[in-house]
Amino acid sequence: MPEKKEKYYLTTPIYYTNGLPHIGHTYTTVVCDTIRRFKRMRGYDVVMTTGTDEHGVNVERAAKKAGIPESEFVAKMASEWRALWDELGVAADEFVRTTDIQHVRTVQWLFRLFRENGYVYKGHYTGQYCIYDNAFVNDAKPGDNCPDCGRPTETVTEENYFFKLSAFQKPLLDFYKKNPDFIQPETRKNEVVTFVEGGLKDLSITRTTLRWGIPVPGEEPHVFYVWFDALTAYLSAVGGPDYEKRGYWPADLHVVGKDIIRFHTVYWPAFLMAAVLPLPMQVWAHGWFLMDAAKMSKSKGNVVLPRPIVNMLGMDALRYFLLREVVFGQDGNFSYDALVTRYNSDLANGLGNLASRTVALIEKNFAGKIPKPGPRQPQDDALAKEAQAAIGEVLERYDKMEFARALETIWSVIGAADKYLTAEQPWALGSSEADQARKATILWTAAELLRVVVALANPVLPATAAKVWILFGQAGSLDSFELDGLRWGQLAPGAQLGKAQTLFPRVDKAEAIERIESMANEELNPKPAAPAPAAAPPAAGTVAAASAPAATTPEKIGIEDFSKVEMRVGQVKTAERIVGADKLLKLTVDIGTEVRQICAGIAQFYEPESLIGRKVVVVVNLAPRKLRGVESNGMIVAASVGPDGRPVLAGFLEDVEVGARLK
């Protein structure tokens, strides 16, 4: 019988759906995903919950602005959030939406428990309310701005159900004392304790001025206050009233930003105490990612979006940067410059270069098989010792949430290996038996070091680590590899290397930043949508002739409409792949009067070299546009074949002059 795994439950905040995720949300979520992967690799049965906070005035207003019902609006937003987490390799086990029926039942159940236990009463409240933070602002006067976000407050009077928060001052202070690790980091704990010691006012937990919320059963038009609603999602994700059956509650860890620490360390434990439910073990409140020294927010227009970065540099590059750049807990500044610098130095030149050098040398000298090491020299042992020591150190750092330091340790081992190869110069050794044996020792050492390094880096860089793992012929998924069993020396000679690949192509900093910014700009200011096409859209930058007749007969056009499209014969001069855009090729095409740059979505079907000199049909009078941040001035015509819409370039059987017009 396998030993029963210990359960571990962690959560991200349940994010608002009135906007799309930016780097701040990405940060918290990537941190949680890293912890989740790390705990899995240490044998825990982990559940990670993330989700969307879908009620409240903000959503009501955003849906109205979009001209669609709230339920449709939040469904769309929730799927956008989910999609982004997929693109970032975030493998949450539970995605809770506060409009889920299971969640609604949990909120109503919790309220019933409050009532049964005597912790709610009806009253009136008039005060200033911040609709952006969904919170009443104590001590504010009409016309005052919210002290947290600086935006105007609104005066609200309503009949509410109040939660007797004041009754929990002493129990909370006792709880903090008995559980000194509950609030992390220490500085935040002091803030919270001081706040609670200052006295707690009862909290209104229902609203009548709001329509879009969970109804209080039998008390309509009362709906629940969004924070009571959202916090409860942590419990509803793992069974709600039946939480004992699933066995994950209480949560081991809630990771949040410092902006919402009070909700998590004062209200939430008080709610659970009132319902006589177990309290979470720990709340970790990290700092903010700042942009130009200010907290990012869409209304300030200083948000950094994750997707353009992922498109340009890959998801692991973003994950690495977020965790490496700031000390977890503290504020940090976000800059594209620092991002690309780290990408080139730590990933392209560091890990990427070490892996490609090692693989190339093993291929050349040992026919792509991990060599059997020969006699060792002191410098081999020194490197082995450093890597072995790093294993324990990195595990300890992850455990203490010191992600930046864990990565620093891993990268110092990579740096040591780089120096080792440069000093040992395996490429300069000859083919004598002694030289071959020396080469074998050096290359086995480098390969073993890479195996250890990627096993340790896997929680942060899962895509890259998996590639290197396979590259060095390792069996099984790295995700289920047990980190506690990791030791120097386990790399078995004889394993066949996988196909070499560039892990992190170097990028030109200015060009990369321009491309990221241009993609972000497109995402933040989308062009009005064109009317929906009758068939599936063609691959980017190509015009496709549909492979099957359209289901409905398209409207006929006159010759004058057709003549508006200017198509000419072009000849491809250069063709290259675009880093970060798997489907696109960047071409320069001679169209007779000039040479144009055109992007075409054909990279998965045509090798760039095969296109040089080829004559193609180009739509030349199309307005220029940017695809993945690269300017495209024209379109290449292709047929779209088969269910996947494989592009097949249009061409000519006879020789045609470049620049000739198609009529």
Q: Is 346 in the site for ligand ME8 (CB under 6 A)?
A: no
Q: Is 20 in the site for ligand ME8 (CB under 6 A)?
A: no
353 vs 358: CA distance, rounded Å: 8
570 vs 593: CA distance, rounded Å: 10
Q: Which residue number, 24 or 538, has a Cβ lying nearer to ligand ME8?
A: 24
Exactly one of 8, 10, 20, 24 binds ligand ME8 (CB under 6 A); that residue is: 24
Q: Is 601 in the site for ligand ME8 (CB under 6 A)?
A: no
Q: Is 10 in the site for ligand ME8 (CB under 6 A)?
A: no
Q: Which residue number, 230 or 572, has a Cβ lying nearer to ligand ME8?
A: 230
User: Nearest CA to 599 among 536, 542, 545, 544?
Assistant: 542
Place of tokens 């980091």: 185
CB atoms closer than 10 angstroms to residue 312: 26
320 vs 206: CA distance, rounded Å: 42
Q: Is 606 in the site for ligand ME8 (CB under 6 A)?
A: no
Stretch that binds ligand ME8, among 83-91, 256-264, 360-368, 655-663 (CB under 6 A): 256-264
- In the bound complex, what is the minimum distance in angstroms from residue 145's beta carbon to ligand ME8? 18
8 Å CB contact between 55 and 212: yes
Stretch that binds ligand ME8, among 23-31, 79-87, 160-168, 653-661 (CB under 6 A): 23-31
500 vs 648: CA distance, rounded Å: 29
Helix H or strand E encompassing 10 = strand 7-16
User: Nearest CA to 12 among 351, 260, 373, 371?
Assistant: 260
- In the bound complex, what is the minimum distance in angstroms from residue 289's beta carbon to ligand ME8? 4
By CB under 6 A, the residues from 266 to 295 that bind ligand ME8 are: 288-289, 295
Q: Is 203 in the site for ligand ME8 (CB under 6 A)?
A: no
168 vs 170: CA distance, rounded Å: 6
- In the bound complex, what is the minimum distance in angstroms from residue 13's beta carbon to ligand ME8? 4
Q: What angle do CA 495, 501, 505 make, to 5 degrees?
A: 145
Amino acid identity of residue 177, one-letter, is: K
- In the bound complex, what is the minimum distance in angstroms from residue 217's beta carbon to ligand ME8? 22
- In the bound complex, what is the minimum distance in angstroms from residue 424's beta carbon to ligand ME8? 43
8 Å CB contact between 128 and 142: yes
454 vs 401: CA distance, rounded Å: 19
Q: Is 200 in the site for ligand ME8 (CB under 6 A)?
A: no
Exactly one of 231, 237, 312, 569 binds ligand ME8 (CB under 6 A); that residue is: 231
- In the bound complex, what is the minimum distance in angstroms from residue 17's beta carbon to ligand ME8? 8
Stretch that binds ligand ME8, among 22-30, 39-47, 378-386, 425-433 (CB under 6 A): 22-30
Number of residues lying near ligand ME8 (CB under 6 A):
19
SS3 567: strand
Tokens in use for 250? Answer: 């209480």
Helix H or strand E encompassing 8 = strand 7-16
Exactly one of 15, 224, 267, 403 binds ligand ME8 (CB under 6 A); that residue is: 15
Q: Which residue number, 78 or 503, has a Cβ lying nearer to ligand ME8?
A: 78
Q: Is 420 in the site for ligand ME8 (CB under 6 A)?
A: no
Exactly one of 10, 14, 235, 273 binds ligand ME8 (CB under 6 A); that residue is: 14
Exactly one of 8, 10, 20, 27 binds ligand ME8 (CB under 6 A); that residue is: 27
Stretch that binds ligand ME8, among 12-20, 244-252, 357-365, 474-482 (CB under 6 A): 12-20
CB atoms closer than 10 angstroms to residue 395: 18
Q: What angle do CA 352, 353, 355 make, to 5 degrees?
A: 70
Q: Is 260 in the site for ligand ME8 (CB under 6 A)?
A: yes
Tokens in use for 609? Answer: 């070299």
- In the bound complex, what is the minimum distance in angstroms from residue 439's beta carbon to ligand ME8? 48
The DSSP secondary-structure symbol of 552 reads S
User: Nearest CA to 214 among 226, 202, 197, 232?
Assistant: 226
- In the bound complex, what is the minimum distance in angstroms from residue 287's beta carbon to ligand ME8? 7
At a CB cut-off of 8 Å and minimum separation 6, what does 392 contact?
none
Q: Is 230 in the site for ligand ME8 (CB under 6 A)?
A: yes
CA within 13 Å, CB half, 136: 19
Exactly one of 53, 70, 346, 380 binds ligand ME8 (CB under 6 A); that residue is: 53
Exactly one of 8, 9, 16, 38 binds ligand ME8 (CB under 6 A); that residue is: 16
Q: Which residue number, 229 or 380, has a Cβ lying nearer to ligand ME8?
A: 229
At a CB cut-off of 8 Å and minimum separation 6, what does 564 contact?
621
Residues that bind ligand ME8 (CB under 6 A): 13-16, 24-25, 27-28, 53, 230-231, 256-257, 259-260, 288-289, 295-296
